[in-house]
Amino acid sequence: MIRVQLRYNFRLYPSAGQRIALARAFGCARVVFNDALRFREEARAAGAAVRHLCGVVQAPHGREEGSGASLAR
Element holding 49 (H helix, E strand)? strand 49-50
Q: Identify the pLDDT of residue 1.
A: 78
Look at residue 28 and tell me if it is in a domain.
yes
Q: Identify the pLDDT of residue 54.
A: 58
**10 Å Cβ neighbour count for 23?**
11
> pTM of the prediction?
0.52
pLDDT tens for 28-39 read 999 999 998 898
Look at residue 45 and tell me if it is in a domain.
yes
What Rg do the C-alpha atoms of the chain give, in angstroms? Answer: 20
Q: Identify the pLDDT of residue 48.
A: 80
Q: Identify the pLDDT of residue 70.
A: 44
Can you give the residue range of the structural domain that contains 28? Answer: 18-65
Q: How many domains does the chain have?
A: 1
Mark the ranges of the chain whose per-residue pLDDT is less than 50. Answer: 57, 62-73
Look at residue 2 and tell me if it is in a domain.
no
